[in-house]
Structure 1
Amino acid sequence: MENAQILTELYEVIKQNTPDQYARIIRERASYSFLYHLSEIRQNLIGWLPIDATKRVLECNPECGALTGKLLSMAKEVVCLITDDRQEQILSARFATDSRDGRLIFTREIPTETQSFDVILIAGSFYRWQNQLTDLRNLLCRDGYLYLADANRIGLKYLAGCQEEYVGGYFTGINGYSNIDCVENSGRSYTRSEYQRLLTQAGFDDLKWYYPYPDHKFPSVIYSDDWLPAAGELAEGRSNYDRDRVACFDERVMADTLLAEGVYGTFANSFLIVAGQEG
């Protein structure tokens, strides 16, 4: 979550404005925090998922509600795992009607009832939940799914000169966070094989991989192993919005090389993983 001052400003903006005014506010503020928490582009990550009005959803990382509203428009009920009073205040103001109607529920602990959710969403900050994956799996109905979206620590944009997703710095994740103290508390991302290992160890044995582009935070398109980018298609090349970057090589040319070599899925900037249980 953001610092207290930013959260207070966001709360006042949300309380005093309607969603159709957020785009104007983003332009006027010219602040990454307002872009990140208020942009409709964020919803592209989940808007296509098969979540309908029969589904009960647990959102593990709701932050200030960038994806919560979309979930509420799709699902029967959304339970948000929150961290503090300020977060509950912001979400309650942003989705007042759903909160009053009981469709939006807040909790500060992982629920205990087993097989009670059809969908669990972790969008970003997976490191906070990696040790609780088995508990989360037990909450899923047998035909339910965990949707996990986060950065790839060896993603192309980080190889090309974008700073690391959570702790910052050039090539921090590429170098395995070797020069960062207590990185598990500060934040980190993982490689494809690392995500796969953590999920399979927790009992998720049905994994499907998707590739939000340019990343999971502001996706304009979502690729899959069945629908990969065409040559020349990955021409975005945007930098980290909240940090400076360098350009070590032509990212677009390298993207075409990775596609030609059949290894794009290993070096995609971000993943959206659909994790289920077989049987």
Structure 2
Amino acid sequence: MNDISPELKKLFLKYDGDTKKLLQEHPNLDYLYALSDIRENLLEWYEFDEAGSLLQIGSDYGALTGLYSRRVRQVTVLEPEHNNLSVNRLRNEKQDNIRYITGELDSFEEEGFDYVVMVGSLMPPYDKHIKKAKSLLKPEGKLILSICNRLGLKYQAGAVPDKDRLSRTEVLELLCGEDGQQGKAEFYYPMPDYRLPVTMYSDEYLPGKGDLTHAILAYDYPKYLRFDLGKMFDEVCEGKQFETFANSFLTIWSRYEEN
């Protein structure tokens, strides 16, 4: 991804933090991903513990940092790119419960977080980084992970996927082990994807045939799709395979079943 932090900072200051007006007058997909309030839909519904501490691994330009800071007592942002942090600081400068650290997950040693969040920031080696993230949690803590699905219909239709992507089975094995006994993972399915989610499905509430026929809006679709995406989603929903072919995942992992 190109570094657009200099232009974002310039525009953010020009519009005095009014991101809605900024996006209206500068309709750019990269700006939309970086600044849109829709980004918060991914976890706006989740009931965080207000007294909790949260580690955000990889923040991009701070699209979700503000949400976390409003929902928990203390937020620590771990981000390898200094320019990303500079934009994050600027847009969340009024929040006094955010700590910013420039660094990599491999060398981060603090522990005891209630939540560790990795939204679009899991990188190879996946197993090593999942293990490291888990080690930073309290015994009853939760690892929140969101990633692009390598089998997502959106990408099979021609949209460009993230560099790092995994199937549902791969995510489940990383979190719970091949035997499925290493904790519990709850799966959610943001549509059209985790970057700009409009609707959230879960294993308890899956879409049926017709639910997605006209609800597949995405800003990064190619001009010409390889097939009728609405029709294909109808097929996978009717065949009870939506979980396999959803565009992306949001998972919440905990060590204990009761959590």
User: Could you tell me the TM-score, scaled by structure 2's length?
Assistant: 0.89
Q: In 2, are the aligned partners of 1:163 and 1:240 still within 8 Å (CA)?
A: no
Which residue of 27, 32, 36 corresponds with 1:30? 27
> 1:65-93: per-residue Cα shift (whole Å, max 9, x none)?
00001111111111111113322221221
Correspondence 1:194 to 2:190: no
* Structure 1 letter corresponding to 2:13: K
Q: 2:119 aligns with which of 109, 114, 123?
A: 123
Match of 2:137 among 110, 117, 140: 140
What is the match of residue 93 of structure 1? Answer: 90
Cα distance, 1:157–1:38 mapped onto 2, change above 3 Å: same
- For this pair of structures, how many residues does the alignment match? 250
1:247 to 204, 225, 228: 225
| Structural RMSD (CA) | 2.0
Matching of residue 265 in structure 1 with residue 243 in structure 2: yes
Q: Is the 8 A contact 2:158 2:226 kept in 1?
A: no
SS in 2 for 1:97: coil
For 1:189, the aligned partner's letter is: R
Work out which of the residue numbers 163, 168, 182 in structure 1 matches 2:159: 163
Q: Does 1:151 align with 2:165?
A: no
2:217: which partner in 1?
238
More helix by percentage? 1
After alignment, is 33-42 or 85-94 more displaced?
Answer: 85-94
| 1:75 alignment counterpart | 72
**Letter of the 1:221 counterpart:** T
Whether the 8 Å contact between 1:71 and 1:78 is mirrored in structure 2 is: yes
List alignment gaps of at least 5 residues for structure 2: none
2:104 is the counterpart of 1:104: no
Q: Structure 1 residues 200, 245: closer, same or farther in 2, change over 3 A?
A: farther
The one of 233, 239, 256 equivalent to 2:234 is 256
Is the CA contact (8 Å cut-off) linking 1:15 and 1:94 kept in structure 2? no
1:204–1:123 Cα change, 3 Å: farther
Q: 2:38 aligns with which of 38, 41, 56?
A: 41
SS in 1 for 2:166: coil
Q: Rate the CA distance shift 1:61–1:113 in 2: closer, same or farther, 3 A.
A: closer
Change (3 A) 1:128 1:92: farther
Structure 1: gaps spanning 5 or more residues? 167-186
Structure 2 counterpart of 1:17: 15
Structure 1 CA distance, aligned partners of 2:47 and 2:93?
25
Identity, % of aligned positions: 28
Matched, 1:60 2:57: yes
Alignment of 1:152-231 (within 5 A): 152-159=149-156, 161-166=157-162, 187-201=163-177, 204-231=182-209
Structure 1 residue identity aligned to 2:197: P
Deviation at 1:128, TM superposition (A): 5.0
**TM-score calculated relative to the size of structure 1:** 0.83
